[in-house]
Chain A
Amino acid sequence: MSDYAIRATDVSKVFVNHLERATSFKERVIRRRALTQDFYALRDISLEIERGSTVGLIGANGAGKSTLLKVLAGILRPSQGTVETRGRIASLLELGAGFNGELTGRENVYLNASLLGMSRRETDRVFDSIVNFAELEEFIDNPVKHYSSGMYVRLGFAVAVHVDPDVLLVDEVLAVGDEHFARKCLDKIAEFQDDGRTILFVSHGLDLVEQICSRGVVLDHGRMVYDGDPYFAAGELRKILGTDVPVEIEAEETEATDEGISLGPIVFADGNGRTESTFHAGDPMTIQVPAVISAKWRAAVEWVRAVVMGVGDIPIWEMIAKRTDLPSDESDWLLTFMVPSCPPIRGRFVLGVSLMSASDQPIAAIRSRQAFEVRAEPGVGILHVDYQVSAEPSAGAPAISAASTSGGTDTHAAASSKVGR
């Protein structure tokens, strides 16, 4: 609890949109009360980032990501709430921020490092390393105004990671470099992770967030709408953006509390009824969904659909409870779906449950807060399939031979999937 690198408590940031702002003394005197319009860029954000974690901050354009980074970096003052940070913060909020075009790359490195709190001696020590990393040996004594945007961002990133930060805040800048440099940046980030440094980065590359983050935070209109597994954070955002794979169920809220209907929370349990979040292929799984439905709605609910969904809410399988399975009089239900044997499919999944009307319209829907994981034999891919393999000299061998090695399990090297790291 105490070992945080960044702690934000109830942070809100209001931008006062001055419709008629006093920008001169005259106006200030004449118009005592300016017309203003408040805009909440951030609302009640509470976020504690543990030291050593890598957090991806994602959201649609204008969701408040950059504002949050600036508040955490201490550039903007929160309108409400507090921000505490520990250690040196290096931020890369915009490509080449803090560079002066008239100065050479070398001068800018020293100036930038100095702004970030490095002494000249410290900078001397890492200077070559910076230039090396940015691959700007030839151009380091040219004014940076002649740099390409790629060179700019390379130098900016190189400085930021070499000022020995305890916390690295990175806004969407990695997208600028070419693949080679992006690779290097990711390697550097991996190195930082190994060193136990804290990284918070904004990205629109959801795959990247899923890949390298230990945690994903989703902002939407200034609010934190999801904080947890990056895998599902990405899914959550795709839903906000409307870019998720179209799923029939409308699981817009995590908890549906329409008047008269309340659903959830969804519980996953093993065969013995113990709450569980990890299952192995072949394990029995029990899913329970409590529901409270008023008399008014009870008649309308014709059937219930439960869909297990993977990345991007792609439906994996469906389970249905028909009218005849449902209680007709009671208002408190406990729907139980029993899966006697988990399918051999690797990954993490969420469950969406919808109460459906006779006309197949969803009346209420819920989405599991927690994901459950299914483990199968290690390997690449989500599905474990039994198969056979054979290898022999092709000369004279029949196209299809009856005699073949039986296998399928241990033939794959442990090429670990990146998903859900």
Chain B
Amino acid sequence: MCSARTDESDSSGAGGGMDVAATTSADERARAQRRVRWELLLGLIRKDLKIKYQGSALGFVWSLINPLVLLAVYTFVFQIVLRAGIPKFGFFLLAALLPWTFLSGSVTFATDSVVGNAGLVRKVPFPLSVLPMTAVGFNLTHFGLQMLVLLAVMLITGFTSFLGAQVLLAIPAIAVAIILTVGLSYLVAGLNVRYRDTKHLVEIVLMAGFWACPIVYSVSQISDKGPFVRWPWLVDVYYLNPMAGVSVSMQRALYGAGHTYGSPPTPVLPDPGYLFYVEKLAVGAIPSLLILVLGLYVYHRMSADFAEEL
């Protein structure tokens, strides 16, 4: 994602002033100004990455150290201090935590994506819809790298159960996470321009959202308890949160279904097969798509006045 195309000043364009005009028509060039182009998106993501790691010696490595430390800390707390019982808790946790971090990071970042680029929005005409995408792309870059680190650690430590068909489940899971993330990002980016307390609302919702997903606990630890037993339909409501489906699917894909906990051994994951997870992802995809449509609509509606509101 973060290609190493750093700027070499190639091409002998010194004298080449205005020869571009010949190659593209005025209409095409006008369209290039209004559409979100990959190059523009990547350029902005690269800018954010560059600014984030400006002046730090280790730069990108910090983002990779982050999940490693999480792995160590959570393993220590949950396995040694709390004796939570889920074996290989660190891997269980990170399988679902990384996509969640992707979502929460993107949404948090997106909240400020328009406001933070006020200078651009007010002074330069460019396709505004690129801004929330930049936030998502930035975090997707980190997500990708952190996943690689996780997989590497899993391989190194001999936790190789993910090798096989089950890992394919990660693809639809990440797809749903991306759809939801993009939708939410557009929504909050647009709203925050006019209603600055969107930011605070986002913080709270994300915090609650984190605990509403089976990330630090497993679904099987709650589905046989309290309200879920009395009102079994609550389980369906639970999975309306797309990230719940994403979490269990990522766990199924990376952590695997073979683990148990407790004295009468209970499986950590709710279902040993695949269909269950595909179904939960499908259920989550519906609200995700609705949020995407809503987010794009709200953003589009509000973006015409961004320059004025900022």
Interface of B is mostly: helix
Stretch at the interface among B4-12, B222-230, B287-295: B4-12
User: Which of B16, B33, B51, B195 counts the most A-chain CB atoms under 10 A from its CB?
Assistant: B33
In the complex, which residue of chain B has the Cβ closest to the Cβ of A108?
B47
Contacts of B13 in A (CB 8 A): 124-129
| List of A residues within 8 angstroms of B16 by Cβ | 125-126, 129
B19-27, B83-91, B94-102, B248-256 - the one binding chain A = B19-27
In the complex, identify which listed stretch (A68-76, A242-250, A275-283) lies at the interface while the others stay far away.
A68-76
29 CB < 8 A contacts A-B:
A23-B194, A23-B195, A23-B196, A24-B196, A25-B201, A74-B125, A75-B121, A76-B307, A86-B26, A87-B26, A88-B30, A88-B33, A89-B30, A89-B33, A97-B124, A98-B123, A98-B124, A103-B51, A111-B43, A115-B124, A116-B126, A122-B20, A126-B20, A128-B12, A128-B14, A129-B13, A132-B14, A164-B20, A166-B26
Most A CB within 10 A of own CB, among B32, B124, B126: B124
Residues in B with CB closer than 8 Å to A22 are 195
Q: Are B10 and A129 in contact (CB under 8 A)?
A: no
Interface bits A163-174 vs B (CB < 8 Å: 1, else 0): 010100000000
In the assembled complex, how far is the CB of residue B111 from the closest CB belonging to chain A, in whole angstroms? 14
Chain B contact patch, size range: 35 or more
A119 to B30, CA, bound (A): 13
Residues of A within 8 A of B7 (CB): 106-107, 110
Are B122 and A75 in touch, CB under 8 angstroms?
Answer: yes
**Minimum CB distance partner of B31 in chain A:** A117
Is B54 part of the binding interface, using a Cβ–Cβ cutoff of 8 Å?
A: yes
| Residue pair A195, B18 in contact (C-beta under 8 Å) | yes
Q: Report B194 CB to chain A, min CB distance, Å.
A: 7
Q: Considering the chains assembled together, what is the distance between the CA atoms of A114 and B308 in angstroms?
A: 23
**Which residues from A are CB-within-8-Å of B21?**
164
Distance in angstroms from A421 CB to nearest chain B CB is 23
Residues of A within 8 A of B124 (CB): 75, 91, 93, 97-98, 112, 115-116
Interface size in chain A (residues, C-beta < 8 A): 50
Interface residue A102 (Cβ < 8 Å from any Cβ of B): yes
Asked whether any CB of chain B lies closer than 8 Å to the CB of A15, the reply is: yes
Chain B residues closer than 8 Å to A75, beta-carbon distance: 121-125, 307
Q: Does A31 contact B (CB under 8 A)?
A: no
Name the B residues within 8 Å of A114 (CB-CB): 37, 39-40, 43
Within the assembled complex, what's the spacing in Å between the Cα atoms of A74 and B126? 9
How many Å lie between the Cα of A342 and that of B47 in the bound state? 66
For the complex, is A100 an interface residue (Cβ under 8 Å from B)?
yes
User: Given A89-B125, A102-B54, A127 and B26 touching (CB < 8 A)?
Assistant: no
Is B29 a contact partner of A88 (Cβ separation < 8 A)?
yes
Provided the pairs A25-B201, A103-B50, A129-B16 are in contact, do residues A119 and B122 lie with their beta carbons within 8 angstroms? Answer: no
B265 part of interface (Cβ distance < 8 Å): no
Which residues of the partner chain B approach A98 to less than 8 Å between Cβ atoms?
119-120, 123-124
